[in-house]
A and B are shown apart, each in its own frame.
Chain A
C-alpha cells in the first residue's frame, strides 16, 4: 500500500526531469519527445488520483493530437536545427532568478493556505467516466456546446492563417 506513495514521487521526478530536458535540449525534436514523456508522467499522476477520464483525455489530446501537431510543424518547416545564436547569459541568469523568485513567492504563499481536507470524506469515484459524463451533460451542457463552436472557429482561423496568400 506504500506503492502508490512511491509512484507519486517517481512520476514527479520523471515529469520534472523531462520538463527541464525540454528547455535544455538543443534540437526542437528532442524537446517535443521529452515533452511527450512529461505528459505521459502527468497522465500517470491522474491515474494515481483515480481521475481515469482526465487521464485518458490527457493521453489522447496532449500526447496524441498536440504532439503530432508539434512534430508535423518541426518536420514540415525543417526546423530541426540547433539555435544559431543564443540569448546572452545575463538574460538567461535573470530569467532563472525571476523564475526562482516566483517559485519562492508561490511556496511562501502556499504555507498559509488551508490545505486540510476530510480524510474520510474522500470518495475516489468522481473521476470515472460515468460520473463525469453525467455532470458534463447536465450541469455543463452550455459550455460543452460552446466549446464546439470554439473548435470550429479555431479550425477556421488555423486554415485562414496557414493559407498561402497572394496566389
Chain B
C-alpha cells in the first residue's frame, strides 16, 4: 500500500476537474428534473461526493492534509443533513401522503 500511488501523477489534475464537474452537473440536473424528494436528496449526495473527490485530489497533488480533514467535516455535515432531511421527508409524507415536492408550493407565491 505504500507505493500504490507512485503513479497517481500520471493522471493529470485536469481530468479530475472534468470528472468531478460532470458528476456535479449530473447532481444539479437531478435536482432540477426529479419530483421525488428522496431522489433529490440522492442528487445532493452525488454533488457532495464530487466535491469531496475534488478536494482530496487537490489535497494529494499539492501535499496539503488540510483538504482531507475538510472532506471529513463535509461528510459529518452530510450525515447530519441526511438524518434531518429524511425526518422532514417522513413528516411531509404523513401530512400529504406523497413525497412529490410539487405539492409543497404553499410558500411559493
Interface residues of A (CB under 8 A from B): 1-5, 8, 12, 15-16, 19-20, 22-23, 28, 31-32, 35, 38-39, 42, 45-54, 57-58, 61-62, 65-66, 69-70, 73-74, 76-77, 79, 83, 85-87, 91-92, 95-96, 98-100, 102-103, 106-107, 110, 113, 115, 117, 119, 121-127, 131-132, 135-136, 139-140, 143, 147, 150-151, 153-155, 157-159, 161-162, 164
Query: Given A51-B68, A70-B42, is A77 in contact with B23 using a C-beta cutoff of 8 Å?
Result: no
Main secondary structure of the interface of A (DSSP, over half): helix
B5 to chain A: closest CB distance in Å? 4
Q: Can you list 11 contacts pairing A with B, beta carbon distance less than 8 Å?
A: A5-B10, A12-B19, A31-B38, A35-B45, A58-B49, A61-B79, A70-B42, A79-B36, A99-B26, A107-B21, A157-B87
Verify B68–A53 contact, CB threshold 8 A.
yes
Verify A54–B46 contact, CB threshold 8 A.
no
A60 to chain B: closest CB distance in Å? 9
Interface residues of B (CB under 8 A from A): 1-2, 4-15, 17-19, 21-30, 32-36, 38-39, 41-43, 45-46, 49, 52-53, 56-57, 59-66, 68-69, 71-73, 75-84, 86-91, 93-94, 99-100
By beta carbon, the residue of chain B nearest A86 is B35
Contact with B10, one of A4, A61, A143 (Cβ below 8 angstroms): A4
Query: Given A5-B10, A115-B14, A157-B84, is A16 in contact with B26 using a C-beta cutoff of 8 Å?
Result: yes
Identify 20 new A-B residue pairs, CB closer than 8 A, beyond the known A28-B39, A46-B53, A113-B17.
A16-B19, A22-B46, A23-B29, A49-B8, A50-B1, A58-B75, A61-B79, A65-B79, A70-B42, A76-B90, A77-B90, A87-B35, A95-B32, A126-B64, A127-B59, A136-B72, A150-B76, A154-B83, A162-B91, A164-B94
